[in-house]
Structure formats: C-alpha cells, structure tokens
C-alpha cells in the first residue's frame, strides 16, 4: 500500500499545472507524481520541469500531461523508478547514476509504493556556496519608517526582515553569509553580531559610499564557488537548492530569479501600422518576467566588479551579455514579496499574521 504521506504530491494527468505547483510546494520534495486511477505511476514532474515550462510560455491552467508530453519530445519519456524493497545502497547508486534527487519506488505492477529523496539517504549537506545580502539601501519609499531604522531591520511579525532572510539561507544549508551595508549599518551589526546566535557565520562589508546593487561584490575576497545574492528587502520561500541545481544544469555564469508579472491595460489597445488600424484588443492583459532581486553568480562574474566601483546588477548583467556570456532566468513559483513600499510592507505583516508565511 502506498504511503499515506505521498497522497499530497500525487496528481492525475488532467490536473491543472497551477494546482500541481501548489501540491509541489506543500509537499516540499521538489516533485509531483502523476498516477492513474489504479495508483500506477504515469510519470514524474520535478521542480526544473515546472520552471522550464513557465519560461516556455506554458498555460498554467492547462493539464500537467502537457509537461509530460514536452518531456517526451525532449527524449525524457518515462520516470526513473526502483523496485519497492530495494536496499539503501542500490537506491543511492541509482540516484547518483541517473542524476536524480527523487526516486519513486513501485511494485511489480508499476503501482506507486514510496518515494526516496537524496535527503533521505544523505545527511543534510552544507551547500557549496556563500550568500550575500544587499542591505545597504536607504529605503526612501518607506519613509518615515526608515528615518531611524535601516529597511532590512524593519519588523515583520515581531522580527527583523533580515533575520527572516538569514533563517531561510540557513535552512537551505548556507552557513556563510556576507552582509553589504551602508545606511545605519551599526544597528545591523549590533543586532546580529557574528551570526552565531542565528546559526550562520556573518561577515560585514561596509560601503563607505553607496556602490549600487552589485558594487559591493568588489569588496569580497576572490570566490571559488557560486555566490547567492539576495536583496535585503525580499521575503521569499524560494528553494535555493533548486535554484543552484538549475544554475549548474544550465552552465550559466549568472542566473537571475524572475517573477511573472501581469499588466492589465484599462483601455482598448489599437494596433496600428502607419495610419491604418490593424486590429483592436479590449483591455488586454500582458505578462512579463520581472527581476526578483535574487541571483546566482559564478566566480568569473563576481571578478568583473572592481573594488569601489559603483555598479548595479542590471549593468553587470548587461556587461556579461555584451561579452557573450551565458545568463539564464530562474522563474520563482514560491512565495515572493518585495517589501519596498508601505503597501507591500503591510501585506508582509498580514501574510505572517494569517499564516501565508511560511507556506
């Protein structure tokens, strides 16, 4: 009999993709299992499959079977499985050989019995990367709240926003965190100290003058591993482990987290060519991807920023693109909120109070 705990990540082939994403987020295993009415495994959809589908413009109200079809066209038909009852060593070897982090276990008739993940077989490993939190902004849009308090130290649900970011990094296995500071930086250092009470090792990088959203990279020592960067006003449940896997899989020099954003035009849009009207669209909605303020950089990308150089992340990305380097986008499907204005700050308070954080 299938383990009862798997029911929340099992979906039918006609389940809408949007609903499957919610199942994946609740299950916290980075996978949903597509099964038939007899509990036979039809296929698997992992985190990266969902994100690639989003980038490909997939309709999230369409069925999850459309992603299985997309995988089949790419030569990824069928799920990697193991017989129920296999020993731990066999499972570990199969996962390593197939480069998978989740492995469904099935009986002789292909019915789903259990699921093994890499974290089940291995101790929670420390991630091979450091993080950097950009916490030096003035937070002018949040005046007067930030007149005597740096924006990352504003309380959300009774604790500073910055402590919530650090806690998420620690949960992802990141133990070394750099804090880039400028405005009212003494308050940050006084609160967090060396980071030991928060389970991390903190290093402070003080900008004598504002260096932009990427300039503080020039204050870092030379890196030999990827660096995760997150703005100090971002409240998110993004899976940093999945982001790192996606970054490595795509062999990217820089990966930028993106969020789908809808723009509703309150007027009828007229499509023209010269003086001629080609068509009309009544109050259309356009979807775009916006910068979510979360990045993964290889050491080579970090090394392009000179000490004391004022540089924004958008400028660094453009510099890489001009040089022909690979930059990829990572769509964020988890909870994400930019706490940069009074309305969103209030929303953050409500989300914590109402249990929408953490999801």
Architecture of domain 4-121: Roll (3.10)
Kindly report the three-state secondary structure assignment for every residue of the chain: CCCHHHHHHEECCCCEHHHHHHHHHHHCCCEEEEECCCCEEEEEEEHHHHHHHHHCCCCCCCECHHHHHHHHHCCCCCCCCEECCCCHHHHHHHHHHHCCCEEEEECCCCEEEEEEEHHHHCCCCCCCCEEEEECCCCCHHHCCCCCCCCHHHCEECCEEHHHHHHHHHHHCCCCEEEEEECCCHHHHHHHHCCCHHHCCEEEEEECCCCCHHHHHHHHCCCCCCCEEEEECCEEECCCHHHHHHHHHHCCCCEEEEEEEEEEECCCEEEEEECCEEEEEEECCEEEEEEEEEEEEECHHHHCCCCCCCCCCHHHHHHHHHHCCCCEEEEECCCCEEECCCHHHHHHHHHHHHCCCCCC
Contact 303, 319 (CB under 8 A): no
Domains 4-121 and 130-353 belong to one CATH topology: no
pLDDT at 122: 62
Please state which of the four CATH numbers 3.90.1300.10, 3.90.550.10, 3.40.50.620, 3.30.470.20 is assigned to the domain occupying 130-353. Answer: 3.90.550.10
Report the interhelical angle of 17-27 vs 47-55 (nearest 10°). Answer: 140
- Give residue 125's pLDDT: 56
Give pLDDT, residue 177: 94
Domain locations along the chain: 4-121, 130-353
Question: In the prediction, which pLDDT does 286 show?
Answer: 87
The per-residue pLDDT for 157 is 87
- The predicted structure's pLDDT at residue 2: 57
pLDDT along the chain (359 residues), means of 10: 76 93 86 92 91 88 91 81 88 85 89 85 66 88 88 91 93 91 88 91 89 88 89 92 91 95 91 92 90 95 88 93 95 91 91 76
Structure confidence at residue 299 (pLDDT): 93
């Amino acid at each position: 009999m299938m383990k009862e705990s798997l029911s929340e990540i099992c979906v039918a082939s006609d389940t809408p993709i949007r609903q499957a994403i919610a199942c994946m987020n609740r299950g916290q295993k980075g996978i949903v299992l597509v099964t038939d009415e007899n509990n036979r495994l039809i296929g698997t959809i992992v985190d990266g499959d969902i994100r690639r589908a989003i980038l490909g413009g997939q309709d999230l109200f369409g069925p999850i079977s459309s992603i299985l079809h997309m995988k089949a066209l790419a030569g990824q038909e069928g799920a990697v499985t193991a017989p129920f009852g296999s020993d731990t060593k066999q499972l570990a070897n199969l996962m390593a050989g197939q480069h998978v982090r989740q492995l469904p276990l099935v009986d002789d008739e292909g019915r789903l019995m259990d699921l093994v993940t890499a974290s089940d077989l291995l101790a929670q490993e420390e991630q091979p990367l450091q993080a950097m939190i950009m916490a030096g902004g003035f937070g002018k849009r949040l005046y007067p709240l930030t007149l005597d308090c740096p924006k990352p130290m504003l309380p959300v649900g009774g604790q500073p926003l910055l402590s919530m970011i650090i806690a998420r990094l620690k949960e992802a296995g990141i133990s070394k965190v750099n804090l880039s500071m400028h405005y009212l930086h003494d308050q940050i250092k006084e609160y967090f100290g060396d980071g030991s009470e928060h389970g991390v090792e903190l290093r402070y990088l003080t900008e004598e003058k504002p260096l932009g959203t990427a300039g503080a990279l020039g204050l870092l020592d030379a890196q030999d591993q990827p660096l995760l960067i997150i703005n100090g006003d971002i409240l998110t449940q993004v899976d940093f482990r999945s982001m790192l896997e996606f970054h490595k899989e795509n062999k990217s020099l820089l990966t930028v987290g993106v969020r789908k954003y809808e723009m509703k035009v309150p007027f009828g849009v007229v499509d023209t060519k010269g003086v001629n009207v080609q068509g009309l669209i009544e109050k259309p909605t356009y979807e775009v991807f916006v910068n979510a303020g979360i990045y993964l950089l290889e050491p080579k990308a970090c090394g392009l920023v000179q000490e004391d150089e004022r540089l924004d992340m958008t400028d660094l990305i453009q510099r890489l693109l001009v040089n022909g380097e690979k930059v990829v986008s990572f769509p964020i499907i988890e909870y994400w909120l930019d706490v940069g204005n009074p309305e969103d700050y209030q929303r953050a308070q409500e989300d914590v109070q109402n249990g929408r954080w953490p999801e």
